[in-house]
Amino acid sequence: MTTVTLTLDRLNIATHAEALQLLDGLYEHSPWVAAQALAARPFKSLTDLKYQLALALQNASKEAQLQLIQAHPELAGKAMVSQSLTAESSNEQNKAGLTQCTPQEFAVIQQLNSDYNARFGFPFILAVRGPRGLGLNKQQIIETFSRRLLGHPEFERQECLRNINRIAEIRLNDKFGYEPVLGHLVWDWQEELSAFSDPGYAEKGQLTVTYLTEAHRACAQFIVQHMHDCGFDEVRIDAVGNVVGRYLAATPTAKTLMTGSHYDTVRNGGKYDGRLGIFSPMACVRELHRQQKRLPFHFEVVAFAEEEGQRYKATFLGSGALIGDFKPEWLDQQDADGIKMRDAMAHAGLAIEDIPNLQRNPADYLGFVEVHIEQGPVLNELDMPLGIVTSINGSVRMQCEIIGTASHAGTTPMNRRADAAVALAELALYVEQRALKDGDSVATIGMLQVPNGSVNVVPGRCLFSLDMRAPNNAQRDALVADILSELKRICERRGVQYKTEETMRAAAAPSAPAWQARWEAAVNALGAPLYRMTSGAGHDAMKLHEVMPQAMLFVRGQNSGISHNPLESSTSDDMQLAVDAFMHLLTHLESN
């Protein structure tokens, strides 16, 4: 194998034949992928090259895609044993320790290989060097294998292709001698931070960090320490437990740009939700400090103490406090163990009387930006590393009830029933159709229950929830109105009653055009594909939106973007792009 590192210039000016030779070995026995991608020369960046390769694969016929999948060796399979792997595959399987399997591990993997092949008709493909490029361990490989064996065939075909692209990405990095150094750093910080987890979860290897627990306070200390190490000028923990780091401008009178995200997690959550939006800007400050560079504005990075509303029903407590929306009645809430928030705060040494002083004066601020893992499958499916958020969806939540008549399941003829559950079933199908019609609305019945139901009783009552979201308030309101009038129609026709109670209403938070444009300029500067999307989930940016302009940048998640789940994942390559985009935004702000 050649050890001369490849450069983009060299690739861009090479003849087609030479270029093909330079990209040899990226896609297993399938040079046609690189051949297709070369039509998009000149590549703007390594990121662009990676995307063009993925596009070539996306645009290929299903037969060609399957042939490529078939060209891959089985994991720890016959080719490995007979040492007939390509040099690249051999190196990867070696890094994952697959060449040193115990006989038991080997037997498990062989069984998985044959079950997978029998089910899908192609070999299982996994980028065994993993999201950080260091190599997954055998346990992780076996777990992923077992899980994917249960997948839908169409999904599995796509997931194999995505893994093939990831394998190619790492092979390309090797060819270019490229290391996503800051991406690795951010990835490693998240890994280290995930060592702190609440009791009951930590023992099981699960990540749970809820407001002001010991693990939560250890997280705050970790962030404080690393902010100091990065070169922030001021670092403090505020009265609600937010960690606030400031990297000061050259001139004291300058305005401030705020960024940040949350470090609390849901129960048994992922390592990147929230935390990526704290560590990405920290990596930027580390670089700025290292280069002895000052920005023309103060840069404030806030690690919000609470966003998820897990220990107390006080969602967005951390960011809420900065806009004067800390509700004093929260202090008397009790957690599951009867500990009042007030006491938890005192125990943590927080000065409750200072909370009102946390409110920022919007006149001092340029705006708020936030990086967040997408928490959805969109970017992963599109093979795009970054997404521009155009709006955070507005939402309405309701608790509802349908009241029919409970009666004997054996003696009540079908045409004389007042079945509350069947009425709900009809509504559920309508909810799905109605939200789908908008394209970008979502609506969910996440809880449904027949209280005191019985196998031989026609359901007399049905309790259910509604969660309805859309990118703007008008679209959301139309969605809600249509669903409620359908509920009314269904209940009238079926002769049942209903009740609804609105439990939450949040306004949509459209991105400020100027800030969205800055993220777009940054993504363009990286040569990465530009994709605009709404955020289905709520974020801290929603709170800051109430007082200042905001815009968010999404980062692709692996495993089809699953989140609020331990399978949440993202690569250090994508994290590097988030840092690079952030750096671009920071250093080009003065010229705007």
Provide the 10 A C-beta neighbour count for residue 461: 19
Contact residues for 252 (Cβ-Cβ < 8 A; gap 6+): none
Rg (CA), the chain: 26
557 touches 381 (CB < 8 A): no
CA atoms within 13 A on the CB side of 499: 9
Query: Among residues 238 and 273, whose Cβ is nearest to Zn ion?
Result: 273
Query: Among residues 30 and 310, whose Cβ is nearest to Zn ion?
Result: 310
Provide the 10 A C-beta neighbour count for residue 220: 20
One of 72, 226, 372, 584 is an active-site residue; which one?
Answer: 72
Q: What type of residue is 579?
A: V
Query: Among residues 276 and 548, whose Cβ is nearest to Zn ion?
Result: 276
Query: Among residues 53 and 278, whose Cβ is nearest to Zn ion?
Result: 278
Q: What type of residue is 28?
A: E
Beta bridge partners of 444: 467
Of 209, 167, 219, residue with least CA distance to 571: 167
Query: 45 phi and psi, to 5 degrees?
Result: -165, 170
Q: At its nearest, how many Å lie between Zn ion and the CB of residue 315?
A: 11
Q: At its nearest, how many Å lie between Zn ion and the CB of residue 160?
A: 29
72 is an active site residue: yes
Q: At its nearest, how many Å lie between Zn ion and the CB of residue 372?
A: 6
Query: Among residues 148 and 262, whose Cβ is nearest to Zn ion?
Result: 262
Q: At its nearest, how many Å lie between Zn ion and the CB of residue 271?
A: 12
Q: At its nearest, how many Å lie between Zn ion and the CB of residue 331?
A: 24
DSSP string, 125-163: ---TTTTTSS---HHHHHHHHHHHTTS-HHHHHHHHHHH
Question: Under the rule (CB under 5 A), what is the footprint of Zn ion?
Answer: 273-274
Provide the 10 A C-beta neighbour count for residue 443: 25
Q: At its nearest, how many Å lie between Zn ion and the CB of residue 591?
A: 31
Of 359, 251, 233, residue with least CA distance to 300: 233
Query: Among residues 231 and 377, whose Cβ is nearest to Zn ion?
Result: 377
Of 507, 504, 437, 517, residue with least CA distance to 472: 507
582 touches 280 (CB < 8 A): yes
Query: Among residues 113 and 310, whose Cβ is nearest to Zn ion?
Result: 310
Q: At its nearest, how many Å lie between Zn ion and the CB of residue 270?
A: 9
281 touches 299 (CB < 8 A): yes
DSSP 238: -
Please identify which residue in the block is written with the tokens 């000052």. Answer: 294
Contact residues for 485 (Cβ-Cβ < 8 A; gap 6+): none
Q: What type of residue is 373?
A: I
Residues classed as catalytic: 72
